[in-house]
Structure 1
């Protein structure tokens, strides 16, 4: 990442139809943009899905991405989620190598970070944690010396702070 690049989180509201995600993601790949994180799911309205994409780039590139995505069929809205005006979280599951002499240290760190122990074997502890990118990275940095056996991440999911809902799109608005 160069000095002008930073991470941007985009919330994209789309019609919940087969192939929509593929069209959005293929736009990124055709243009040579890398997706750092991708999370998709239905909203409170089953006919609308929310795609949350984190990309790294400079401001002009992100503006171009927003415009191009906004032109795609079935895209209802593209919204940039800023750090201070949104709540952004990720779920991570991480399997850490443990021995009898260091297991208590892993458990103690898990408690400090509010990670949940979901499995224990004679040689590993598997943890589940939700948090911001910074919190998750700090946790992973502390787990590295023990040995990370396996890891899975969901990607960022984000909602705007406050009472406004991005996905409050009624069908009547779309038909006008």
Structure 2
């Protein structure tokens, strides 16, 4: 007899919260206490008076786990709204990375050529290194970083995913 195991799915969650001290720690603690992994987490205030923040969390799990995470987040007092952008359908996800590459000669030329292909901007340059800024989906960033390893990658800093639903309405 075959036991069928459900496949883990990657989900992007948007959590709208009161911008108050400790809320991020409480949300991270909820994930930690239950052994859920956070693959990416970003947070910023989204209102003019800085009273509301949007936390974007990328996590993976079987559907029942994702539902449980959403229900538990929804129960936290300063949480206004939890949306599973993945389940809602079309949404836009972007990430920004700063990628430092050191090299001379052909490696330097190749780094610039690849940066052009990936629409990465040079935001700092010395005679022996570049810092590129690249934005896009996480797959694009991953691929760019992998290619830069071959021409002198030194270090990478990434923002994590930010996401928003498509369409005319705020959700």
Is the pair's TM-score, using the shorter chain for normalization, greater than 0.5? yes
TM-score w.r.t. structure 2 length? 0.91
Unaligned runs of 5+ in 2: none
> Residue 59 of structure 2: which of 55, 60, 81 is its match?
55
CA RMSD of aligned residues (A): 1.6
- How far, CA to CA, are the matches of 2:116 and 2:128 in structure 1? 19
Deviation at 1:153, TM superposition (A): 0.5
SS at 2:140 equivalent: helix
Deviation at 1:133, TM superposition (A): 1.1
SS at 1:41 equivalent: strand
- How far, CA to CA, are the matches of 1:11 and 1:160 in structure 2? 9
Residue in structure 1 matched with residue 94 of structure 2 by the alignment: 89
Count of residue pairs the alignment pairs up? 165
> Residue 83 of structure 2: which of 74, 79, 83 is its match?
79
> Residue 37 of structure 2: which of 12, 22, 34 is its match?
34
Aligned pairs (5 A) from 1:52-131 = 52-82=56-86, 84-131=89-136
TM-score w.r.t. structure 1 length? 0.88
- How far, CA to CA, are the matches of 1:82 and 1:132 in structure 2? 14
Segments of 4+ in structure 1 off by > 4 A?
none
Deviation at 1:3, TM superposition (A): 6.9
Greater shift, 74-83 or 111-120, is seen at: 74-83
Residue in structure 1 matched with residue 23 of structure 2 by the alignment: 20
- How far, CA to CA, are the matches of 1:27 and 1:147 in structure 2? 39
Unaligned runs of 5+ in 1: 167-176
Cα deviation code 1:69-107 (max 9, x no counterpart): 110110001001128510000010010121122211111
Aligned pairs (5 A) from 1:4-19 = 4-19=7-22
- How far, CA to CA, are the matches of 1:121 and 1:56 in structure 2? 40
8 Å CA contact 2:107–2:152 kept in 1: the answer is: no
